[in-house]
Chain A
């Protein structure tokens, strides 16, 4: 495809919190996906849109930025946007920039406009002033014609909440494209604040700009109160996680049940023993286990998105900044670390908000220790099998494991900042946006995207890993010595697991748990499925019982119970610390552009996991 035949690129640019993502969502109807752009390593959303005249255009949502200044770090959002624009133009694509400004903060938005005009004078520009509703509510207006005349580019005043915004913006894009070489380019000769003051009309000067600000300041007085603020912060975070799991739990059970039903139905249909086992135990089991915690991931993403869109996440960063500084991280690191509790992969990308490279690296290195949702099926299984008790006890242990993950992450950060990533910390510089009601459409679109990307991963990487694992577990590598040996005992995985027994003896793990650890090397959630295969095949002739019962009933070679509370505690400690996730390692490689740091994470987390699990095992055994 030649450059001329490719659809034009319409790049959305704007300050963080300018309403850019809401407008993008309005223009695309939520149908965006992560674009695949050569040379661009970070996730940039793109979508194909049809202009009023029928031509297709590629709409791209660039990261929020304050400037195109080249002095900022290469990994910064500013540089990513700048490089993206340069590459598209080198490729010969037609590029139009749509700058989104918050009409209620016009002066700040025009600062970026002037920057664009100075740094990228050749790029055609359209200015879209959003939050027209907020502006009107403050009794203010915008003289669109005067602003357009002063800048020399078209100006659209709209609100992303209005369906009509789509047509108005796309019509302007089409007009600019049609004018080809004559497309409007901004004139850099203006003073942002003066121009903003001149074109903003104030119907009621006394109230101008005060309503929204007063509301935000009233809310801040409570949420950032010296005493109440931190308490509310803990309550909000606690409530967030509690409600996510409360809602997700039934959905997860439903997913589990559906997978089991499907397996039970498929097995007789498929007939042949090994073939049916491949599909049901290998593929379906592996993917089913993973899909079962899709509800948790989606709910966490939704909760985080709502917090971010409402403006609270910036407040949270303000509140925890001092605390995080004690660990060599800034308050901005809070957002990636919180995201990591859903999934480490987007969290690694989210570290781009950290400006100081060493601070950013530190955050990336400790993110794998946060309790991501993939650990939960393992925690649930182990807690149910060994710690029993009521829902309260289970909740208490799970909370403890969350705290353990966070605490170990912060402690490792302290150590790293004094050794491997020693260096200065940048002080906090963060805009605190006005509080806004989130747009549910945008949140839903984001959830859909994250869910799709997760399912795609489950459908490829984890499916492949499950099948390989199944082969390791179910295909005998040696002959049957006694004539009664189960297949699993003769599998390659069993041989490997047995070979590892001397190494894992101090942790109390036998060959079966070792096989589970091998199986969960690529993705920790595969632990449950692997154990299912081990215990399932082993007792295939018996009445099927839940995995929990089978693990409880497992016997060692001497006929005594194979696992004790100490084993369970050691296993939990291992899962808190080990980075059993290929996706996370590849995300770290992508962001650091080196294999050194993923290798470092792998070595230090497994080393730490081994040592701590051994200590935990010995202590718990001594006590009980």
Chain B
């Protein structure tokens, strides 16, 4: 029995390590505070998705976790030009990729349809 539990723990630990190392599966919740990243997907639906989108938490925005409130409290996150307090369930749904070199302020959301018609 003991060996069984140990192997399970090992499994879980390696799984979580793999998850935090793999770019595609990493969320804001997994992101180490102070590390720059770019939002890849916001995996939410309905009103939550609409609100985050309107607030400016959208794909393509540079993101960085500034701090986490203790005891499972919210995350303080900088996204683009603004900073937000995001509850953990929301932060867990905001997937990020590691920041490409040179990405920072001003790298924006791409809307091909609009790009040509501006002005």
Binding site for B on A (CB under 8 A): 66-67, 69, 71-73, 104-108, 111-112, 115, 146, 149-150, 189-198, 208-209, 216-217, 220, 224, 226, 314, 317-319, 321-322, 330-331, 355, 426-432
| Interchain nearest-CB distance for A102 vs B (Å) | 9
Contact of A191 among B48, B90, B118 (CB under 8 A): B118
- A191, B85: Cβ atoms closer than 8 Å: no
B115 within 8 A of A: yes
CA distance A498 to B51 in the complex (A): 57
- A107, B56: Cβ atoms closer than 8 Å: yes
- B residues 40-80 near A (Cβ < 8 Å) are 46-48, 50-56, 60-61, 66-67, 69-74, 76, 80
- Other 7 A-B pairs with CB < 8 A, given A193-B61, A429-B55: A69-B50, A107-B81, A193-B109, A226-B70, A321-B73, A427-B87, A432-B82
- A193, B73: Cβ atoms closer than 8 Å: no
B89 within 8 A of A: yes
CA distance A72 to B51 in the complex (A): 8
Cβ–Cβ < 8 Å partners of B48 in chain A: 426, 429
| Interchain nearest-CB distance for B67 vs A (Å) | 6
Cβ–Cβ < 8 Å partners of A208 in chain B: 105
- A318, B54: Cβ atoms closer than 8 Å: no
CA distance A432 to B54 in the complex (A): 15
22 contacts between A and B (CB under 8 A): A67-B50, A67-B53, A73-B47, A108-B80, A146-B119, A189-B118, A190-B114, A191-B108, A191-B110, A192-B109, A193-B108, A196-B106, A196-B108, A198-B118, A220-B76, A318-B74, A330-B87, A428-B85, A429-B52, A429-B90, A431-B55, A431-B83
- B115, A191: Cβ atoms closer than 8 Å: yes
B111 within 8 A of A: yes
- B106, A432: Cβ atoms closer than 8 Å: no
| Interchain nearest-CB distance for A111 vs B (Å) | 6
Contact of A427 among B70, B83, B89, B107 (CB under 8 A): B89
- A191, B87: Cβ atoms closer than 8 Å: no
Cβ–Cβ < 8 Å partners of A195 in chain B: 118
Cβ–Cβ < 8 Å partners of B83 in chain A: 216, 431-432
Helix, strand, loop or mixed for chain A's interface?
A: helix
CA distance A209 to B118 in the complex (A): 24
CA distance A557 to B94 in the complex (A): 72
Contact of A72 among B50, B105, B110, B114 (CB under 8 A): B50
> A108-B81, A193-B109, A429-B84 are known contacts. Are A319 and B90 too (CB-CB below 8 A)?
no
CA distance A208 to B104 in the complex (A): 12
Contact of B56 among A111, A189, A226, A427 (CB under 8 A): A111
- A104, B87: Cβ atoms closer than 8 Å: no
**How many A-B residue pairs lie within 8 Å, measured between CB atoms?**
139
> Which residue of chain B has its CB nearest to the CB of A227?
B70
Query: What 6 A-B pairs come out closest when comparing CB atoms?
Result: A427-B87, A193-B108, A67-B54, A322-B73, A66-B54, A428-B87
Cβ–Cβ < 8 Å partners of B90 in chain A: 427-429
CA distance A285 to B115 in the complex (A): 69
- Which of A194, A216, A317, A429 has the most chain B CB within a 10 Å cutoff? A429
Cβ–Cβ < 8 Å partners of A319 in chain B: 69
Cβ–Cβ < 8 Å partners of B71 in chain A: 322
- A115, B109: Cβ atoms closer than 8 Å: no
- A431, B109: Cβ atoms closer than 8 Å: no
> A71-B50, A105-B81 are known contacts. Are A149 and B119 too (CB-CB below 8 A)?
yes
Contact of B69 among A66, A190, A321 (CB under 8 A): A321
> Which residue of chain A has its CB nearest to the CB of B116?
A189
Contact of A429 among B70, B86, B114 (CB under 8 A): B86
> Which residue of chain B has its CB nearest to the CB of A194?
B108
CA distance A197 to B115 in the complex (A): 13
> A355-B47, A429-B51 are known contacts. Are A224 and B76 too (CB-CB below 8 A)?
yes
CA distance A355 to B86 in the complex (A): 14
| Interchain nearest-CB distance for A432 vs B (Å) | 5
Cβ–Cβ < 8 Å partners of A427 in chain B: 74, 86-90
- B81, A104: Cβ atoms closer than 8 Å: yes
B117 within 8 A of A: yes
- B54, A150: Cβ atoms closer than 8 Å: no
CA distance A150 to B117 in the complex (A): 9
Cβ–Cβ < 8 Å partners of A112 in chain B: 54
- B86, A191: Cβ atoms closer than 8 Å: no
Contact of B66 among A106, A217, A226 (CB under 8 A): A217
CA distance A325 to B16 in the complex (A): 27
> Which residue of chain B has its CB nearest to the CB of A69?
B50
> A72-B50, A322-B70, A429-B52 are known contacts. Are A190 and B85 too (CB-CB below 8 A)?
no
- Which of A71, A112, A193, A432 has the most chain B CB within a 10 Å cutoff? A193
| Interchain nearest-CB distance for B35 vs A (Å) | 15
CA distance A431 to B56 in the complex (A): 10
- A193, B106: Cβ atoms closer than 8 Å: yes
> A71-B46, A427-B90 are known contacts. Are A193 and B80 too (CB-CB below 8 A)?
yes
CA distance A191 to B61 in the complex (A): 13
> Which residue of chain A has its CB nearest to the CB of B70?
A226
CA distance A317 to B70 in the complex (A): 14
Contact of A105 among B73, B82, B84 (CB under 8 A): B82
- B69, A192: Cβ atoms closer than 8 Å: no
Cβ–Cβ < 8 Å partners of B51 in chain A: 66-67, 72, 355, 429
> Which residue of chain B has its CB nearest to the CB of A107?
B81
- A115, B82: Cβ atoms closer than 8 Å: no
- A431, B86: Cβ atoms closer than 8 Å: no
- A428, B66: Cβ atoms closer than 8 Å: no
> Which residue of chain A has its CB nearest to the CB of B71?
A322
- Which of A66, A106, A426, A427 has the most chain B CB within a 10 Å cutoff? A427
> Which residue of chain A has its CB nearest to the CB of B69?
A322
Contact of B119 among A150, A216, A321, A322 (CB under 8 A): A150
| Interchain nearest-CB distance for A59 vs B (Å) | 25
| Interchain nearest-CB distance for A146 vs B (Å) | 8
Cβ–Cβ < 8 Å partners of A193 in chain B: 60-61, 80, 106-109
CA distance A428 to B89 in the complex (A): 9
CA distance A104 to B76 in the complex (A): 20
- B84, A430: Cβ atoms closer than 8 Å: yes
> A66-B55, A322-B71, A431-B55 are known contacts. Are A197 and B108 too (CB-CB below 8 A)?
yes
> Which residue of chain A has its CB nearest to the CB of B93?
A427
> A191-B108, A193-B106, A431-B82 are known contacts. Are A150 and B118 too (CB-CB below 8 A)?
yes
Cβ–Cβ < 8 Å partners of B109 in chain A: 191-193
